[in-house]
C-alpha cells in the first residue's frame, strides 16, 4: 500500500511547510525506531532512562504487528511517530515522539489529534496512555491535550482521553436538525462547549438546540452582549447562550456569574475551549469543521462526552443522519 493511500491528514507548520500524518506498516519499523530514539534521547533525564531507548527494530516491529503505527512527515522526512497497542483490551498510545528540530512546532499535538480522530472513526471510545509519575512536566503536557488521570500502575500514571463521536451535516438545515436531536438528551445542569472557525455553524447548531429545548428566541450570536438567556416555553430548562470570543481567559468568564444559573439551565459556550472547561467536569465538547471546498456546505461535527453523565450509545444514536 502506498504512503499516499495511507495519509490521514495534513496541516501547515508555522514556516509554511506541510506536515502530514500517515499510517505505518511493517516497513516503517526502522523509521519509527530512529524517530523514537532521537526524541527520547533529547528529553531531560529523571530517574531511570526512558524505556524507549532500549527498543530495537524487532521490538518496534512487534508493536506494529500487534497494533497501529503512525508517522508524521515533513517534506517526505519522518519527524514524529507513535504506536497504539492493546492494553488490557483498550487502545493505548505509546512511544509518542518528535525529533528535536521540530519541537515546539505543534507536531506532537497534531499527531495526537489525528490519531484520536482515526481511533474514533474505528468506533473506539477513548485513548489511554501510561506516563511516568516522576515526569510531572510530561504528565502536565498530556493533561493540556485532554488526558485525565485514572489511577497509577507501577510508577506510571494511567491517563485517559475520551474520543469524539462524528456526525455529518450536509447544510444549515441538517445542522439545526442535529442540534434538535441532541437537545432531546439534555437536562438542566448540562454544559456544552462549541468550537469551530468563524462561519462553521456554531450558532446554527445552537438554533437547533434551542428549537429542541423549546425556548424563546430568536437565537443569534451573543458576541457583543456576551450572553443571552432564553427561557423555556414549556417546562424544560432555560438555555444560556454565551459567546466567549471576546474573553481572554476563564477569569473573565467568571464575571458573567454562570455558576449561578448553571444548575438550572443548559449552558452553551461558543469559543469556550480553554476558557469554560472549569464550569463543569461533565460536559459535551462540540467541534464543528468545514471541508476544504468553499462551495461545499458540509460540516463535520465532533462530539466528545466528558464525565459519567453521558451515555455514549444514546449520543451515537442521536448523531445518526437518519435518526
Cis peptide before 218 (omega within 30 of 0): yes
Beta bridge partners of 88: none
In tens, the pLDDT along 53-88 reads 999 999 999 999 999 999 999 998 999 999 999 988
Residue recorded with cell 455558576 = 259
Q: Where are the domains of the chain?
A: 3-162, 165-319
pLDDT for the residue 250: 61
Instruction: Report pTM.
Output: 0.78
In tens, the pLDDT along 272-300 reads 888 788 888 899 999 999 877 778 889 99
Average pLDDT of the residues in 112-140: 91
d(CA 108, CA 98): 6
Q: Band the pLDDT of 2: cuts 50, 70, 90.
A: very low
**Average pLDDT, rounded, for the chain:** 89
Percent pLDDT > 90 in the chain is: 63
d(CA 289, CA 10): 15
- How crowded is residue 290: how many other Cβ atoms within 10 Å of its Cβ? 16
Average pLDDT of the residues in 159-171: 92
Whether residue 39 is predicted with pLDDT greater than 80 in this model: the reply is yes
Helices 312-319 and 172-183: angle between axes, nearest 10 degrees: 150
- φ and ψ at 102, to 5 degrees? -110, 10
pLDDT for the residue 223: 67
Average pLDDT of the residues in 4-32: 90
Whether residue 248 is predicted with pLDDT greater than 70 in this model: the reply is no
**DSSP E strands, the chain:** 7-12, 18-23, 68-74, 77-87, 90-98, 126-132, 148-153, 156-162, 165-169, 191-195, 227-230, 238-243, 265-270, 283-290, 299-306
What architecture does CATH give domain 165-319?
Answer: 3-Layer(aba) Sandwich (3.40)
In tens, the pLDDT along 203-228 reads 999 999 999 999 998 999 876 668 88
Answer yes or no: CATH 3.40.630.30 is held by domain 3-162.
yes
Residue recorded with cell 437537545 = 183
Amino acid at each position: 500500500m502506498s504512503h499516499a493511500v495511507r495519509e490521514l491528514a495534513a496541516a501547515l507548520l508555522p514556516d509554511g511547510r506541510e506536515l502530514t500524518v500517515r499510517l505505518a506498516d511493517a516497513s516503517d519499523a526502522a523509521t519509527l525506531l530512529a524517530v523514537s530514539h532521537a526524541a527520547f534521547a533529547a528529553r531531560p533525564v529523571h530517574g531511570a532512562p526512558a524505556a524507549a531507548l532500549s527498543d530495537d527494530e524487532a521490538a518496534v516491529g512487534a508493536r506494529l504487528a500487534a497494533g497501529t503505527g503512525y508517522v508524521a512527515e515533513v517534506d517526505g522526512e519522518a519527524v514524529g511517530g507513535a504506536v497504539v497497542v492493546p492494553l488490557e483490551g483498550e487502545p493505548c498510545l505509546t512511544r509518542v515522539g518528535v525529533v528535536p528540530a521540530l519541537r515546539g512546532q505543534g507536531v506532537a499535538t497534531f499527531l495526537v489529534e489525528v490519531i484520536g480522530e482515526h481511533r474514533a472513526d474505528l468506533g473506539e471510545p477513548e485513548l489511554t496512555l501510561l506516563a511516568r509519575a516522576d515526569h510531572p512536566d510530561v504528565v502536565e503536557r498530556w493533561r493540556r491535550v485532554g488526558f485525565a488521570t485514572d489511577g497509577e500502575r507501577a510508577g506510571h500514571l494511567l491517563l485517559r482521553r475520551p474520543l469524539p463521536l462524528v456526525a455529518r451535516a450536509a447544510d444549515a438545515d441538517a445542522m439545526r436538525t442535529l442540534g434538535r436531536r441532541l437537545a432531546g438528551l439534555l437536562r438542566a445542569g448540562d454544559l456544552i462547549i462549541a468550537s469551530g472557525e468563524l462561519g462553521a455553524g456554531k450558532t446554527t447548531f445552537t438554533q437547533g438546540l434551542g428549537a429542541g429545548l423549546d425556548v424563546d428566541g430568536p437565537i443569534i450570536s451573543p458576541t457583543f452582549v456576551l450572553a443571552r438567556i432564553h427561557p423555556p416555553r414549556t417546562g424544560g430548562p432555560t438555555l444560556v447562550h454565551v459567546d466567549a470570543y471576546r474573553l481572554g481567559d476563564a477569569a473573565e468568564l467568571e464575571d458573567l456569574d454562570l455558576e449561578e444559573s448553571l444548575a438550572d439551565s443548559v449552558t452553551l459556550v461558543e469559543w469556550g475551549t480553554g476558557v469554560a472547561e472549569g464550569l463543569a467536569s461533565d460536559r459535551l465538547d462540540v467541534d464543528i469543521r468545514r471541508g476544504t471546498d468553499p462551495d461545499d456546505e458540509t460540516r463535520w461535527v465532533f462530539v466528545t462526552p466528558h464525565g459519567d453523565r453521558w451515555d455514549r450509545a444514546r449520543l451515537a444514536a442521536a448523531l445518526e443522519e437518519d435518526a
